Structure 1
Amino acid sequence: MPTLDLSNFNIVVSVLGGWISLFGLVSYLLKENFYLSEALISLLAGITFGPLALNWVRPIEYARSEENLENVTLFFTRLVLGVQLVLAGVQLPSRYLKKEWKPLALLLGPIMTAMWLATSLLIWGLVPHLPFLHALAIGACVTPTDPVLSNVIVKGKFADHNIPKDLQKIIIAESGANDGLGYPFLFLALYLIKYIGDGGVSESGGAGLAIGLWFGETWGYTIILSTFYGAVVGWLAKRLLRYCKDRGFVDRESFLVFALSLALFITGTCGLIGSDDILACFIAGNVFTWDDWFRLATIDDSLQPTIDMLLNVVIFMWYGAVCPWRSFVDNSVIPIYRLIPLGILVLILRRPPFILTLHKQIPQIEDIRQATFMGFFGPIGCSAIFYLYVTVDFIETLNPGVGDEPRHDVAKMAEAVRVIVWFMVVVSVVVHGLSIPLGKVGVYLPRSISRSRSMSVSAERPSLQAGNFIIDLRLPRGRSRSRKGGKTLESRVPSIGHAYRIGGSVIVPPEPVQYSLSSEHHAQPEDGNGVAPRLTRTSSQPSLHIYGPPGRTVRFPDEASPNKNQQQIGVEEQGSERSNV
């Protein structure tokens, strides 16, 4: 007899598939009309379906323990970042890192360092009894700008209409490169904590050994090796793919998915050797399309954006389910009344002041408005979660032995980094996800109110009575362009129906008519160029002539002019004389 199988697999697949399907049905409306980010929407979905609400998605049951759950989240984040960074590198034009090395060096050097120090100082000042070295480590986790959340401002209708292409490209390049460059900031603090954090009692060597390891392991093995490895793999992949493509060995499906498989390969192999897979993926993606061949060949295909969207939806839904929401209120590190101001101050002071100060040195930033925009939209997301769990893994190595008590100086550090970094990610997703729609509301709401008031005033004016008709409709706008000297006058008159409103009155012709616009000198008031546009009926029906410059109101004798100085223009119909108001 059939029975219900309420296993975790069946439930989570049903929830995930159903949510992605529902989101897809209204995705264009939400993202292109309301400018809501898929990250924010998916985070809210994760909260709804997760243990905090419906409890349909139960991550702790899948992982069996908190430690395994953190490992799953770390590996999932690595996978998403690897794919996203290869795609980010592929999106950039030919030789972009070489051509724009100066502004990138400024963003990844002085500005990123200032972001790290400013964030660390805020954390140190607002978290009670937190050592400064711990604040440096936590600040390093949230210093990189996230490439996943950056897609919100560099893709879609908002970006096409409001953000110049050059600015979009520099944002993509910075968010891709600085993810991998978070290692030096983080491990400088972690090595110092390890060797001098407790006064050097547990670990011998002191600051000298810490700095030596920082240069050797972090810069040499992690950063330089991963950069070289990513460049070599990207170049070889490009040559092999082009060789096989030219000889017809590759079908279209495999060609399109090649960048994604390259991301998986680099993420896995860099993980095997313990290097920086994030930076390697970004470098490989950029070298892979160094000559623009692959980027131009796939520019019209939607596979990569589709994979990008799916990963964004799934990862932030997972974050909504696994985020330690209760720890924001119940923890032994920082009270909530300090945590909320910390989140707000970090978003305000972490990045905007430094972009505004040095924006004139970045050619892609044209004015102060663009500098403000780029400074504010430096989101904190997947990369912060990645560095969070790298930090937690490192702290566990500081314990003297299995089952022993942790070192007294790092006893609360793991809890502090979990609470603060997770809270900063949530704040960034919410604030950056709502900034654009709220900004649009702030711009358009006053205009809509003013327009509504104008319409209500216009509705009170008397209407033209034509026989048994009393009609009050609106005439669609037209666009006009005139040339000095009366030689040229062009206008687009939109297709309109059987009722035409001019000013506050309406003309109802007996049947649809066509109009042509001519440029002639008349005795009527001119538009400043000696030309009075004339809209003339071209059909055989009684003609309608409207005299007056474009953009001015045409009024009838039955209307009262709101402004005595306003220019009044007559309307002539065949069989009646022209009346001047």
Structure 2
Amino acid sequence: MHQLHAVLALSAATVIALGLLSGGIKRSPLSVPLLALVIGVAAGPTGLGWVNPEAWSDAHQILKQAARFTVAISVTGIALRTPLGDVRALLRPVGLLLVFGMLGMWAVSALVSWWLLGLAPLVALLLGAAVTPTDPVVASAIVTGKAAEEKLPSRLRSTLSLESGANDGLGYLIVLLPLLALTLAPDEYVLSHWLVSTLLVGVVLAVVLGAAIGLVCGWALRWARAAGVVEYHSFLSISVALSLLALAAASLVGSDGILASFAAALAFNIALDRSDDFAEENVQEAISKLFNLPVFVLLGIMLPWGAWMQLGWAGVAFAVGLLLLRRPVTIAALGPFLGAGLRMRDTVFLAWFAPVGVAALYYALHAMEQTGNPVYWHATSLAVAVSVLLHGVTATAGMALYDRAAPSRG
């Protein structure tokens, strides 16, 4: 219980401290997730030793569920804050990124895993699938805030946000395929299990269930406002409630809760009449401060330094190679076909700022839990730490370079 209180106190103090300093941080080469990660490292066993995850009954399960909840909250915030006009205008590029982009990143990530870590093909495919989705938590820290709104056009911010919001749930499809191949008995048919349990139940049912929840909630709020029975409503409270409802409902029917949360929030956004007065907060900023930072503190506490040392330079090469190849190679192939007004500087920005983050942690921990192989956790946690570092320190400079490359905003 003492350890739980220590983690809660540390997380709360981090949210308060970084919130108070948020203006200065946004203008610096550092990012809020990076600082939260550093705070976790400082408080953990490799630092001051205030918190010791070895004393917890199941530290990995705690981190997995924290990651699941954080991603669900984050994708809900993305769906709620994205203007519907941007959703319609960006269907082509986001659709291409969700289909061909994910397949391309999966292929590159699996090849990097196989080549640099020497993993068996199926293990490399599973690790590659886990690190494929672009992370909505770290991405939100890049594309939100005053500096991002001033220097990055809406089309670019919405493209990265929508893609990262949707592909975390769709990552379930590519993660489960090699996972089933590794865990099912030899006489069981992998493809039929994948089609039924993963595609139909895990994804299709999640979208239908989430959309139904979002539409009902949106219509209910519209009716309550028209009837004059509701005086005030907060996007922040709605986003949390929708996430919890979609996560719980999806879990009850065996579907993917992350995808259900995104579908619920998107359907709610569509069903709700946003044209008149609405007490709207900056959802993404509020969610980032309240819910996203604790998972990075927890990750910093639990980073497996000893396992990283065993991976050696191959682990470092894997993490760096993943960031340099996984996304840039894919965007180089897809860039000419994206359309929707996205220009060369947009595709360059999209090619680099596609971080590996909390969603990858969730899938990697799930893979380790199901297979008993710790390489998924060890390699993915290293990739996440390097991604938070590199994407965090290059975000401010990247936005400035983008702004300088755009003589006229459009």
TM-score, normalized by the shorter chain, greater than 0.5: yes
Please tell me whether residue 153 in structure 1 is matched to residue 142 in structure 2: yes
Please tell me whether residue 22 in structure 1 is matched to residue 17 in structure 2: yes
Aligned residue number for residue 387 of structure 1: 363
Aligned residue number for residue 34 of structure 1: 28
Shift of 1:13: 4.1
Q: In the alignment, is the contact (CA less than 8 A) between 1:91 and 1:295 conserved in 2? A: no
Aligned residue number for residue 92 of structure 2: 102
For 1:179, the aligned partner's letter is: D
Choose which of 34, 49, 66 in structure 2 pairs with 1:76: 66
For 1:16, the aligned partner's letter is: S
Aligned residue number for residue 137 of structure 1: 126
For 1:137, the aligned partner's letter is: L
Paired with 1:441 and 1:225, the residues of 2 have a C-alpha distance of 42
Residue by residue over 1:479-503, the C-alpha shift from the partner in whole angstroms, topping out at 9 and shown as x without a partner, is xxxxxxxxxxxxxxxxxxxxxxxxx
Aligned residue number for residue 225 of structure 1: 205
Q: In the alignment, is the contact (CA less than 8 A) between 1:222 and 1:274 conserved in 2? A: yes
Q: In the alignment, is the contact (CA less than 8 A) between 1:351 and 1:378 conserved in 2? A: yes
Counterparts in 2 of 1:308 and 1:375: CA distance versus 1, 3 Å: same
Shift of 1:291: 4.9
Q: In the alignment, is the contact (CA less than 8 A) between 2:218 and 2:269 conserved in 1? A: yes
Aligned residue number for residue 204 of structure 1: 187
Paired with 1:442 and 1:20, the residues of 2 have a C-alpha distance of 29
Matches within 5 A, 1:437-448: 437=396
Q: In the alignment, is the contact (CA less than 8 A) between 2:30 and 2:393 conserved in 1? A: yes
Aligned residue number for residue 382 of structure 2: 423
Paired with 2:128 and 2:63, the residues of 1 have a C-alpha distance of 20
Counterparts in 2 of 1:113 and 1:299: CA distance versus 1, 3 Å: farther
Paired with 2:283 and 2:41, the residues of 1 have a C-alpha distance of 29
Matches within 5 A, 1:302-313: 302=282, 305-313=285-293
Shift of 1:237: 0.6
Please tell me whether residue 87 in structure 1 is matched to residue 86 in structure 2: no
Shift of 1:10: 4.8
Choose which of 98, 103, 107 in structure 2 pairs with 1:113: 103
Aligned residue number for residue 258 of structure 2: 278
* Structure 1 residue ranges, 4+ long, deviating more than 6 angstroms after superposition: 440-443
Please tell me whether residue 8 in structure 1 is matched to residue 23 in structure 2: no
Counterparts in 2 of 1:297 and 1:76: CA distance versus 1, 3 Å: farther
Identity %: 28
Aligned residue number for residue 114 of structure 2: 124
Moved more, 84-93 or 364-373: 364-373
Bigger Rg, structure 1 or 2:
1
Residue by residue over 1:281-334, the C-alpha shift from the partner in whole angstroms, topping out at 9 and shown as x without a partner, is 11111110115635975575246632332212211111111221221003xxxx
Partner secondary structure for residue 46 of structure 2: coil
Aligned residue number for residue 474 of structure 1: none
* Corresponding pairs, count: 403
Shift of 1:36: 2.4
Please tell me whether residue 242 in structure 1 is matched to residue 222 in structure 2: yes
Paired with 1:295 and 1:326, the residues of 2 have a C-alpha distance of 54
Residue by residue over 1:52-104, the C-alpha shift from the partner in whole angstroms, topping out at 9 and shown as x without a partner, is 1111123333x32xxx2111111111111111111111112227555533222
Counterparts in 2 of 1:429 and 1:194: CA distance versus 1, 3 Å: same
Q: In the alignment, is the contact (CA less than 8 A) between 1:85 and 1:278 conserved in 2? A: yes
Aligned residue number for residue 171 of structure 1: 160
Shift of 1:143: 0.2
Paired with 2:141 and 2:318, the residues of 1 have a C-alpha distance of 24
For 1:169, the aligned partner's letter is: S
Choose which of 339, 345, 348 in structure 2 pairs with 1:363: 339
Q: In the alignment, is the contact (CA less than 8 A) between 2:145 and 2:285 conserved in 1? A: no
Please tell me whether residue 287 in structure 1 is matched to residue 246 in structure 2: no
For 2:288, the aligned partner's letter is: D
Partner secondary structure for residue 257 of structure 1: helix
Paired with 1:304 and 1:339, the residues of 2 have a C-alpha distance of 33
How high is the TM-score relative to the length of structure 2? 0.91
Shift of 1:23: 2.2
Aligned residue number for residue 50 of structure 1: 44
Partner secondary structure for residue 186 of structure 2: coil
Counterparts in 2 of 1:420 and 1:295: CA distance versus 1, 3 Å: farther
Partner secondary structure for residue 356 of structure 2: coil
Counterparts in 2 of 1:440 and 1:255: CA distance versus 1, 3 Å: closer
Counterparts in 2 of 1:296 and 1:99: CA distance versus 1, 3 Å: farther
Residue by residue over 1:368-394, the C-alpha shift from the partner in whole angstroms, topping out at 9 and shown as x without a partner, is 222111111110101001101221232
Which structure would you say has the larger RCO, counting Cα contacts within 8 Å and 6 or more residues apart? Answer: 2
Paired with 1:254 and 1:167, the residues of 2 have a C-alpha distance of 27
Q: In the alignment, is the contact (CA less than 8 A) between 1:59 and 1:321 conserved in 2? A: yes
Aligned residue number for residue 327 of structure 2: 351
Structural RMSD (CA):
2.5
> Which structure has more helix as a fraction of its residues?
2
Residue by residue over 1:498-545, the C-alpha shift from the partner in whole angstroms, topping out at 9 and shown as x without a partner, is xxxxxxxxxxxxxxxxxxxxxxxxxxxxxxxxxxxxxxxxxxxxxxxx
Paired with 1:91 and 1:387, the residues of 2 have a C-alpha distance of 26
Please tell me whether residue 182 in structure 1 is matched to residue 168 in structure 2: no
For 1:428, the aligned partner's letter is: S
Choose which of 303, 308, 311 in structure 2 pairs with 1:323: 303
Q: In the alignment, is the contact (CA less than 8 A) between 2:349 and 2:398 conserved in 1? A: no
Paired with 1:325 and 1:296, the residues of 2 have a C-alpha distance of 52
> Which structure has more strand as a fraction of its residues?
1
Matches within 5 A, 1:406-485: 414-437=373-396
Counterparts in 2 of 1:13 and 1:87: CA distance versus 1, 3 Å: closer
Choose which of 313, 325, 350 in structure 2 pairs with 1:374: 350
Q: Specify every segment of 5 or more residues in structure 1 that has no aligned partner in the other structure, as ranges.
A: 1-5, 196-201, 397-413, 444-581
Paired with 1:272 and 1:295, the residues of 2 have a C-alpha distance of 35
Shift of 1:224: 0.5
Q: In the alignment, is the contact (CA less than 8 A) between 2:106 and 2:128 conserved in 1? A: yes
Counterparts in 2 of 1:229 and 1:300: CA distance versus 1, 3 Å: closer
Q: In the alignment, is the contact (CA less than 8 A) between 1:42 and 1:313 conserved in 2? A: yes
Paired with 1:281 and 1:232, the residues of 2 have a C-alpha distance of 11
Partner secondary structure for residue 270 of structure 2: coil
How high is the TM-score relative to the length of structure 1? 0.65
For 2:179, the aligned partner's letter is: L
Paired with 1:144 and 1:291, the residues of 2 have a C-alpha distance of 28
Counterparts in 2 of 1:157 and 1:364: CA distance versus 1, 3 Å: farther
